Amino acid sequence: MSCNYIYPAKYDNIKIVIEKTFWFTKVINGDHVDLKDDPDYSGRVEYNCTKTFCSLKIFNVSQTDSKEYKFRIITNHPGGKYTGSTGVSLYVRDPQVKVNRLNNPIRIQLTCHTDCQLDPPVSYVWLEDGKANKESNNNLVLSSFNTTHRYQCAIRGHEDVPSPAVYAPQTIALSVTPSETVEGSKVTLTCSSDANPAANYTWYRGKVDKLLESNKNLTFDSIKSMDSGQYYCTAINKMGQNTSRVNVDVKYAPRSPSVSQSPSGDIVVGSSVTLTCSSDANPAANYTWYKEGEKAQKDSGEKFTITNIQNEHSGNYYCKVQNKIGHHNTSVSVTVVAGQPMSTITCRLALLILISMLVLITFRRTLKTMKKNTKLSDPVEMMEMRNAIEITE
C-alpha cells in the first residue's frame, strides 16, 4: 500500500522541512505508534519513501493484520503534523478449520472453509503435522479423540498459505504467584496451554478427585497451611486434553511452642535436668535458650541440658522458636533444692542395717530360751500328777 502527499514550501515565513514519515495503526496516549516500533509488526514491515511518495510492505500477513493503515508526516513547523484523512483498509482471508466433536463413538470432524471468493470447483488439501494427507474434500474425520497431531487445510494450488493448525492442548505451563507462598497472603495459581481451539481449564485438589474451579486461575484470598498440597489443572478442547500438576507449599511462622522438663518437679543440687522445646513451623524453626535476666544465649537446639545443677541455676528459662516468617517464645521455671550429703546417707543406711541385725539376733535368742524352758517344765508336771494320785488312794 502507498501514499502520495504534498506540502507547502513555506508557511508562516518558515521553510517547511519534512522531518519524519511513517505508517501506523495505533494511537496510545495521543502518540501515533510507528509500525516499525509496534511489537505486532516487529521485523515484518518495510518502507520505501522518496520525495512525496511512501509505500508500506507487510511480510507474513495473517488475519490479525486486517486493519486500517494510515500515513503521517511530521515537519519542522510547530503545528506541522499531519495524518491522511483516510487510510488504507486491509482485509486478510485465509482457510480456517472448524472442529466438531462427534459422539457414539467419539470422533473428531474437521471442516475447512474460507471467506475468499473462489471460482468453482474448489479442491482442498489436508496436512497432518505439515505433510499432505490423501483427503481432498473439505471434511476430514479423525477416528480418535485426544490426538497428538496437528491438522491444517489449504486450497489446492495455494498450499503455501495453509490454515492455522488445530491441535489438542500441548504442554501445560503452571505458575504460582507470588512464588513464595506465605500463610494469610493472596495466592493465584495460573494454568496456560498452547492449544487451538483455545482450551478450557479446570482445577482439582489431590488426585483429580475434587473440583475446585473451572477457570484459568485459581485464587486464594487468604491461603492457609492446610491448603498445602498437589493441585492439578486439566486443559481441554474439542481435539483432546492434557493435565499437569503443581505443588503448593504454604510457609508459616512457628506455632505456640510446648516446653517440658525432665525430670519434672524440683531438681536436687548436683543432679541434671533437660529442658525440651518443640513447635510446628514451615520452614523448620531454629531454637535458642535464654535465662530470664541474662542477655547471653544459654544454648541452641530443641534440648537444653544443665549438668551438676547448683542453686544459682534456679529461675525462669525461655525458648525462642524462629524461622524467616516469624518467631514465638515460651518459658519454663526450674527450681533447685538442697540435697543430703552422700556421707550422711551412707551412715544412716549402715545404722539401719545394724539395727535390723540386732533385732534379728535378739529375736532368735528369745526363741531359743522359750523352747528350753518348755522342755524343763515337763518332768515337774508329771511328778505333781503322781503325788496327787497316791494321796487319793
Please tell me the distance from the alpha carbon of residue 386 to that of residue 107, in angstroms, as a whole number: 135
26: part of which helix (H) or strand (E)? strand 18-28
Chain segment 190-229, per-residue pLDDT in tens: 999 999 999 999 999 876 567 888 899 999 999 999 999 9
pLDDT tens profile 111-159: 998 877 777 778 889 999 988 887 778 899 988 777 889 999 998 888 8
Q: What was the pLDDT predicted at 389?
A: 44
DSSP state of 165: P
Give the DSSP letter string of 51-68: TTEEEEEESS--GGG-SE
The amino acid occupying position 55 is: S
Q: From the centroid of its chain, how far is CA 263?
A: 42
d(CA 274, CA 264): 9
Kindly indicate the confidence band of residue 388, based on its pLDDT and cuts at 50, 70 and 90: very low
**Secondary structure (DSSP) of 28-53:** ETTEEEEGGG-GGGTTTEEEEEETTE
Q: Which whole-number Å values give the CA distances from 384 to 208, 371, 389, 390, 392, in the listed order?
A: 112, 22, 9, 10, 13
Arithmetic mean of pLDDT, 268-280:
94
Give the C-alpha distances (Å, rounded to integers) separating 135 from 21, 126, 377. 49, 6, 139
Task: Say what the pLDDT of residue 347 is.
Answer: 58
Greatest mean pLDDT range, 182-196, 345-359, 371-385: 182-196
Greatest distance between any 2 Cα atoms in the chain: 189
- 341-369 pLDDT, tens digit per residue, is 444 455 567 788 888 888 778 877 777 77
pLDDT in tens, 49-87: 988 999 999 998 887 899 999 999 999 998 888 988 888
Q: What distances in angstroms separate CA 81 from CA 6, 48, 73, 87, one per listed residue? A: 13, 20, 6, 16
Lowest-pLDDT choice from 78-92, 246-260, 283-297:
78-92
Dist CA 243 CA 43 (whole Å):
36
Chain-centroid distance, C-alpha 381? 107
C-alpha cell at 107: 470422533
* CA–CA distance, 179 with 9 (Å, rounded to integer): 61
Rounded Cα distance between 121 and 132, Å, is: 20
Cis ω on the peptide bond leading into residue 105 (within 30° of 0)? yes
Strands 124-128 and 151-155: antiparallel
pTM recorded for the entire structure: 0.64
Which three-class secondary structure state does DSSP give residue 304? strand
Residue 201 CB neighbour total at 10 angstroms: 21
Cβ-count burial 140-168 (b if 16+ within 10 Å, e if not): bebeebebeebbbbbbeeeeeebbebbbb
Which cell is 163 given? 490454515
**Rounded CA gap, 51 and 67, in Å?**
26
* pLDDT the model gives residue 64: 87
Residue 222 CA to residue 188 CA, distance in Å, equals 10
For residues 80 and 85, give the distance between their C-alpha atoms in angstroms, rounded to a whole number: 15
Q: Which residues contact 169 (CB under 8 A, 6 or more apart)?
A: 193, 194, 195, 199, 235, 236, 237, 239, 240, 241, 242
Give CA–CA dist 152/43, Å, rounded.
26
Which of 18, 116, 36 has its CA nearest to residue 76? 18
Question: What are the pLDDT digits (tens) for 290-311?
Answer: 999 898 999 999 999 999 999 9
Most confident range, picked from 91-95, 148-152, 249-253: 249-253
